[in-house]
Chain A
């Protein structure tokens, strides 16, 4: 049984039809064409599909697509401000915080959820914030550094 789902994706009103039992990840990737959240495990253990729903991090693979009806969804594609990348993205690029790149979108979204709530996080808070995001290329140290660096840059910009 199909269901129409309307949501705000990275600031744009969109609508799609979901199959019965379809998850938000499939809706985003296959119906709405945003392939930035990745399917790593479909079990809720890897974090590669992390997106923000009404500002809170969720695992798109475990969320029923129709439960996102009427919500605000943010993926990594919503981080940049036009051509200007988000400081997190810049810091990830400068700090070599991605290797194969498969965990990166989820990692960035999880980090954004943290910085939205806590603009000056401690290292422990950063580690906690990305605890549900697995990086198999073992790049955690540069990732944590990059999030801290992004926080510093953002604080600098705010003056």
Chain B
């Protein structure tokens, strides 16, 4: 059956179309869906897209940041208010991919992709969803756990608190090629300190499971500890027990388990 493209003026209309047609898929930046079209994926016959300006809007002036799901990596990089997220956006693809790839689409990127989603997890982001029945909001880790369920709700926006101290947000991606490469391991961490000790740590891992995950074991091991070699040692040890790392062309499961602690230590201690 030939493909049909339906372009809507509003997100609500797009959500209704998706709700009504299970063989419809939503097109944001195209880096996932157009690839599927090119490779002969015939599991869907309708493409839904939207020209709703809200879809690509950034609200970053205040303490609560809201990103339309259609905001691209290039838009993030062009926003001075989102400087703390620049290293994350720059970790996605090359310049042309960044012109296209969206923050919403990144939530659906299969392993080993999804670096931005890992960062959003560490920021404790919430996902705004629209369906034919209306809008709702869920926590990102809850959303990721069921992202492959159909019918997929339409992700319209993401929101999270701006880190009070930008230095408390850290991100590192280990790749085999530079400057562009898919992740062997990605770690995003929000590690605010109070009186020299970590308080309220949030750590997320990419490429360490089928999808980006929160690393609760690492978080517990960091709580109340100073960011010193000795202080982070329990968290580094805990890293190897997180997730269920896949084996792929880039790295084996064994290697990912071995190296994740090393990357975590460097990230937490600010080592190169």
User: Direct contact between A and B in the complex (CB less than 8 angstroms)?
Assistant: yes
Contact A23 B37 (CB under 8 A): yes
Does chain B have a CB within 8 A of A98? no
A132 and B97 in contact, given A44-B31, A62-B31 (Cβ under 8 angstroms) = yes
Count of residues in A whose CB is under 8 Å from the partner chain: 32
Report which of A19, A64, A110 forms a contact with B95, defined as CB distance below 8 A: A110
A42 and B94 in contact, given A1-B5, A66-B5 (Cβ under 8 angstroms) = no
Does chain A have a CB within 8 A of B148? no
Report which of B2, B4, B35 forms a contact with A42, defined as CB distance below 8 A: B35
Does chain A have a CB within 8 A of B142? no
When distances are taken between beta carbons in the complex, the residues of chain A under 8 Å from B217 are: none
A64 and B97 in contact, given A1-B2, A20-B3, A43-B38 (Cβ under 8 angstroms) = no
Report which of B2, B27, B30, B179 forms a contact with A128, defined as CB distance below 8 A: B179
The distance in angstroms between the C-alpha atoms of A44 and B39, with both chains bound, is: 11
A113 and B95 in contact, given A21-B5, A42-B39, A127-B179 (Cβ under 8 angstroms) = yes
Smallest CB separation, B6 vs chain A (Å): 9
Report which of A1, A19, A110 forms a contact with B96, defined as CB distance below 8 A: A110
Does chain A have a CB within 8 A of B34? yes
The distance in angstroms between the C-alpha atoms of A1 and B29, with both chains bound, is: 21
Does chain B have a CB within 8 A of A3? yes
Most chain A C-beta atoms within 10 Å of own C-beta, residue among B31, B95, B96, B180: B96
Contact with B along A108-121 (1 / 0, CB 8 A): 00100110000000
Give the contact-size bracket for chain B.
Answer: 20 to 34
Smallest CB separation, B114 vs chain A (Å): 15
Contact B95 A44 (CB under 8 A): no
Contact A132 B180 (CB under 8 A): yes
The distance in angstroms between the C-alpha atoms of A52 and B3, with both chains bound, is: 26
When distances are taken between beta carbons in the complex, the residues of chain B under 8 Å from A44 are: 31, 34-35, 93, 96-97, 100
Contact B3 A21 (CB under 8 A): yes
Contact A43 B35 (CB under 8 A): yes
A128 and B95 in contact, given A23-B37, A23-B38, A43-B39 (Cβ under 8 angstroms) = yes
A20 and B96 in contact, given A42-B35, A131-B179, A131-B180 (Cβ under 8 angstroms) = no
Q: Which of A123-159 contact B (CB under 8 A)?
A: 127-133
Smallest CB separation, A83 vs chain B (Å): 29
Smallest CB separation, A115 vs chain B (Å): 13
Contact A62 B30 (CB under 8 A): yes
Contact B4 A20 (CB under 8 A): yes
Report which of B4, B34, B99 forms a contact with A64, defined as CB distance below 8 A: B34
Contact A132 B47 (CB under 8 A): no
When distances are taken between beta carbons in the complex, the residues of chain A under 8 Å from B5 are: 1, 3, 20-21, 64, 66
The distance in angstroms between the C-alpha atoms of A110 and B49, with both chains bound, is: 27
Contact B96 A64 (CB under 8 A): no
- A-side residues, CB < 8 A to B, are 1, 3, 19-21, 23, 42-44, 47, 50, 53, 56-59, 61-64, 66-67, 110, 113-114, 127-133
Sorted from nearest, which 8 A-B pairs have the closest CB atoms?
A: A132-B94, A21-B3, A42-B38, A131-B180, A57-B96, A20-B3, A131-B94, A62-B34
